[in-house]
């Protein structure tokens, strides 16, 4: 990376005041959030899914010319992390990985950003907050020049919430992938199995 995160944190994004959505204050992700973010991810996604290094790498892949496409939500009263939207910019995704079918996408793979993980703590789910935070990421991806964004939604999320919130945003299905997360050495917070047995639906939104 040719920039330092310290430079980035002095950059444009800190001039933007947080956006309040419901009981959450939403800000672009910063390096100083990662310490609080890791235990949140351990609980909501699963133990071992991320570590400090992989979260830092995602922060770097989320950065483009003074802005960050990923967001964190903190409770306005307690300041506890209650939401995360991890997004990587177009051109940063390894499309040779399993579960990616670029031949089905209508744009060049290098023009596709990635919705990596979106998690809300249970008390904030079901009020449309996931979509509102994700739209902040979409605005940044458009500024970056992305022509589409890809996501792998879990077909095991409660009441199909993952697929449903993406559908509401206009994502369309590409293909289902069995065992999409099975190669990751973590204990899934949804199926509670190791390896994870959750099935993913690859979905795409054209911007």
| Residues contributing to the site for ligand COA (CB under 6 A) | 118-120, 125-131, 153-154, 157-159, 161-162, 164-165, 168
- Closer CB to ligand COA, 66 or 195, in the complex: 195
Measured at the CA of 188, the angle between CA 135 and CA 41, to 5 degrees, comes to 50
Cα-only R_g, the chain: 16
Distance, in Å, from the CA atom of 172 to the CA atom of 133, rounded to the nearest integer, reads 19
Closest to ligand COA by CB, 64 vs 124, is 124
For the bound state, the minimum distance from the C-beta of residue 39 to ligand COA, rounded and expressed in Å, comes to 16
Q: In sequence order, what are the residues at sequence separation of 6 or more whose Cβ sits closer than 8 angstroms to the Cβ of residue 49?
A: 41, 42, 184, 186, 188
Q: Return the beta strands (E) in the chain as ranges.
A: 19-21, 24-28, 46-47, 63-64, 67-68, 71-75, 81-88, 112-120, 148-154, 172-177, 187-188, 200-206
Minimum Å gap between C-beta 198 and ligand COA is 8
Measured from the CB of residue 128, what is the shortest distance to ligand COA in angstroms?
4
Report the nearest approach of ligand COA to the CB of residue 56 (Å).
Answer: 21
Report the nearest approach of ligand COA to the CB of residue 126 (Å). 4
Residue placing its CB nearer to ligand COA in the complex, 112 or 153: 153
CB of 16 to ligand COA, least distance (A): 22
Taking the least distance from each CB to ligand COA, the nearer of 95 and 156 is 156
Residue at shortest CB range from ligand COA: 130
- Cα angle value 35/64/166 (rounded, 5°): 75
Residue from 14, 137, 20 nearest 75 by CA = 20
Q: Which residues pair with 177 in a beta bridge?
A: 200
Nearer of residues 28 and 82 to ligand COA, judged by Cβ: 82
- Residue 19 CA to residue 105 CA, distance in Å, equals 33
Q: Which is nearer to ligand COA, 14 or 127 (CB)?
A: 127
């Amino acid at each position: 990376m040719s920039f330092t995160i310290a430079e980035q944190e002095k950059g444009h994004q800190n001039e933007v005041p947080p956006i309040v959505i419901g009981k959450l204050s939403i800000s672009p992700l910063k390096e100083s959030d990662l310490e609080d973010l890791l235990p949140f991810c351990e609980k909501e996604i699963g133990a071992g899914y991320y570590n400090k290094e992989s979260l830092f790498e995602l922060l770097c892949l989320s950065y483009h010319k003074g802005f960050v496409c990923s967001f964190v939500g903190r409770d306005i009263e307690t300041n506890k992390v209650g939401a995360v939207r991890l997004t990587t910019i177009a051109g940063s995704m390894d499309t040779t990985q399993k579960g990616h079918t670029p031949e089905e996408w209508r744009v060049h793979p290098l023009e596709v950003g990635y919705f990596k993980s979106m998690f809300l703590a249970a008390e904030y789910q079901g009020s449309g907050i996931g979509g509102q935070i994700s739209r902040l990421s979409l605005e940044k991806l458009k500024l970056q020049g992305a022509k589409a964004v890809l996501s792998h939604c879990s077909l095991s999320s409660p009441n199909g919430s993952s697929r449903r919130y993406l559908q509401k945003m206009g994502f369309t299905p590409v293909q289902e992938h069995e065992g999409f997360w099975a190669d990751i050495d973590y204990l899934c917070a949804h199926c509670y199995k190791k390896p994870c047995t959750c099935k993913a639906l690859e979905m795409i939104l054209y911007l």
